[in-house]
Amino acid sequence: MEVIPAIDLRNGLVVRLYQGDYDNQTIYSTDPVKVACAFEDAGASRIHVVDLDGAFDGVPRNTHIYEALSRYIGIPFQIGGGLRTIEAVNEALAVGADRVIIGTIAITDRELVNRVIAEHGAQRIVVGLDTRDGFLAINGWTRNTRSNAVGAMTELAALGVGRFVYTDIGRDGTLTEPNFDALASLIRHTNRTDVTGDWPGKIELLASGGISSIPHLEQLADLGFAGAIVGRAIYTGAIDIATAVAAVMDRGK
- Catalytic residue numbers read 8, 130
Total residues belonging to the chain: 253
d(CA 107, CA 205): 17
Tell me the H-state helices in the chain: 32-41, 52-57, 63-72, 86-94, 104-108, 110-120, 149-157, 180-190, 214-223, 232-236, 241-248
Can you name the residues that pair with 206 across neighbouring β-strands?
A: 165, 227
CB 119 within 8 A of CB 85: no
CA atoms within 13 A on the CB side of 135: 8
Coil, helix or strand at residue 215: helix
- Number of CB atoms found within 10 A of residue 63's CB: 18
φ, ψ (nearest 5 deg) of residue 136: -70, 140
